[in-house]
Amino acid sequence: MSDPSSQNDLPELPDDYWQRLEDQDINALCRRALAIPVAPQALRLSSLNNDVHIDLYAQTLHIKIGDQWEPVTSALIRLLVMVYLLHVSDSPLLGDRISVHDLKDAHFFQGPHELRTEPVRQLLDNSLNQFEIAAAKIGGQSISLADVSYRFLPFPKIPVYYLFWRGDVEFKSRLTVLFDRSIESHLTADAIWGLVRYVSDAIIVNA
């Protein structure tokens, strides 16, 4: 998986994010986040088929690309990792898939905050093979929903489902994103929007 850098138009992390994480018990944090403690103030988190190393003392994030650890340069990935770690709850997966329209903050996902799915829909229209190659690179798993559907894990407790229906002479193709209902226990609406942007960009970068 590449580290998408197109999201660097986002603000840098607030200073207190690191302090708030340092103040937590790292073992309890790892249990909640399904992460792995690797040092008294460091942990490792799985994200789209890659490991992210978070050093709370040095205040650094590195992603493993191939055999190399490289600094996370994407502002979006940095922000999402920190928000996930700060807000992930004890809530387990509920097994009930929902769309953004079912969220309590459904009104948020309009206009400039519509989910970033159009580039992926176009990719699926043009080359299912390229989509499948990209999905495999980022750990996507094919599931039996819609005409084409995949499950992605941007974070261990946050499955994201991409469901694609092919078009015909009357209707254009359609792509829908679903989440486990527990997502609202872990992320706010703006973070959910960013999460889909992260997954979609990763698909396009790896296609």
Indicate whether 110 belongs to any domain: yes
Q: Tell me if 2 sits within 8 A of 206, measured CB to CB.
A: yes
| Sheet strands (E) in the chain | 36-39, 42-47, 50-55, 60-65, 68-71, 97-98, 141-142, 148-155, 158-165, 174-180
The whole-number pLDDT of residue 199 equals 98
Domain that holds residue 168: 97-206
CA-CA-CA-CA torsion sign (130, 183, 75, 107): positive
Phi/psi of residue 159, each to 5°? -70, 145
Residue 156 CA to residue 177 CA, distance in Å, equals 17
The answer to whether residue 5 sits within a structural domain is no
Alpha-carbon distances, residue 116 vs 121, 148, 194 (angstroms): 10, 18, 9
Q: Classify residue 115: in a domain, yes or no.
A: yes
The reported pLDDT for the residue numbered 11 is: 59
Same domain, 44 and 115: no
d(CA 54, CA 18): 10
- What per-residue confidence (pLDDT) applies to 15? 78
Torsion angle of alpha carbons 175, 100, 9, 18, nearest 10°? -130
Is the domain of 36 the same as that of 77? yes
Instruction: Detail the DSSP E strand segments found in 26-157.
Output: 36-39, 42-47, 50-55, 60-65, 68-71, 97-98, 141-142, 148-155
Whether residues 55 and 121 share a domain: the answer is no
Q: How many Å apart are CA 147 and CA 134, to the nearest integer?
A: 17
Residue with tokens 């502002």: 75
Report how far apart, in Å, the C-alpha atoms of 73 and of each of 24, 107, 139 are.
25, 31, 21
The pLDDT value recorded for residue 7 is 47
In the chain (207 residues long), the average pLDDT of successive 10-residue segments reads 47 83 95 96 96 95 92 94 96 95 95 95 95 97 95 98 91 95 96 97 96
What confidence score (pLDDT) does residue 9 get? 52
Residue 7 domain flag: no
Classify residue 10: in a domain, yes or no.
no
Please indicate, yes or no, whether residues 112 and 201 belong to a single structural domain of this protein: yes
Same domain, 115 and 197: yes
- Based on the structure, what is the number of domains in the chain? 2
